Amino acid sequence: MNPAEYRTIYLIIAAVALSAALIEGLVLAYIAQRGYNWKSYFASLFIAVGRRVADFVPIAIAFPGAFWLYEHRLIDWNLRDWPAYVALFFILEFAYYWFHRASHRVRLWWLNHSVHHSPNEFTLSTAYRLGWTGRITLSLIFFVPIAWLGFPPALVAIALSINLLYQFWIHAEWIPKLGFLEGILNTPSAHRVHHASNVEYLDANYGGVLVIFDRLFGTYIPERDEEKPIYGWVQPIETHNPLAIVFRPWRDLFRDLKTARSIRDVIGFGFAPPGWQPDGNGPTTENLRKRAKAGDSILAKP
């Protein structure tokens, strides 16, 4: 696929996604009479446009060492045969799980990923509200080893795009549970849990297409009828200003770094879980759960 063909396909997919999100909003607002936050919709739209402008970092830099690793690959796959693509699917799904888990558990990567979790609603427009700094913070480094296993970096990038494309439709509150598929696929129900800020639901369901690695590594949490998801950050952001949404996590990081009194503090603020504080009492997921269990007030993750 040449660059022109890739751009054409990208524009078609983008147009379909934007149209689907708009139709969802119109149906929910004017037919279902359920209400719809149009300010949040347009914030997501402007953030999506800004992301395209911000993607100035070449893929070779975003995938550091991937091209060199591919030249020294361990396996020569027959890319004309289907077993190679089955292997790529599961290898990439495994890498995506750890990339996504780290994006929640390491503050450096949460800075970018938190933008995706900022909407206080769960709609299709949430799917394309993505941060602008992922390439700068090298969040794609989790996918670099796939090149060493014998897959061209460009193919890895396309496979990752397809994985993310699958996830568009699961950003919907109105799609019900899908029966036996729950616990196998990443469904709207599973992803509602992932986006929820309820203490019981935090840091769960990291899979892309599947949730088998969540089940394997103990991070799968099913949606419970008696526990309705509350979306957004633990401390909700109320503004719909796209710049404020994108850069608020960075502002909070620099605020914390100003209080650092040692190298340990600097490393902790950058690489410990979101909410970490030097005294060990910060609002991390673990501490929030302890406080909720004890009946104490819940403080926000930054």
How many structural domains comprise the chain? Answer: 2
287 and 158 inside one domain? no
Same-domain check for residues 202 and 168: yes
Largest CA distance in the chain: 58
* Judgement on whether residues 147 and 261 belong to the same structural domain of the protein: no
* DSSP string over 20-81: HHHHHHHIIIIIS-----HHHHHHHHHHHHHHHHHTTS-HHHHSTTHHHHHHT-S----TTS
Residue 247 lies in a domain: yes
Contact 206, 100 (CB under 8 A): yes
Helix, strand, coil shares of the chain, percent, nearest 5, are 60, 0, 40
Query: Which residue segment(s) compose the domain that 252 sits in?
Result: 242-294
Q: Is residue 203 part of a domain?
A: yes
Q: Are residues 280 and 184 in the same domain?
A: no
The pLDDT tens digits for 155-208 are 999 999 999 999 999 999 999 999 999 999 999 999 999 999 999 999 999 999
**pLDDT tens across 99-156, in order?**
999 999 999 999 999 999 999 999 999 999 999 999 889 899 999 999 999 999 999 9
Token representation of residue 117: 């979790």
Domain for residue 56, yes or no?
A: yes
Asked whether residue 256 falls in the same domain as residue 143, the answer is no
Domain shared by 79 and 180, yes or no: yes
Question: For residues 238 and 206, is the Cβ–Cβ distance under 8 A?
Answer: no
Q: Looking at the structure, do residues 100 and 134 belong to the same domain, yes or no?
A: yes
pTM as predicted: 0.93
In a domain? residue 156: yes
- Asked whether residue 280 falls in the same domain as residue 180, the answer is no
Cβ-contact 220, 193 below 8 angstroms: no
Instruction: Give the span between the Cα atoms of 66 and 68, in whole angstroms.
Output: 5
Q: Is residue 3 part of a domain?
A: no
**Structure token pair of residue 32:** 């279902």
Residue 279 lies in a domain: yes
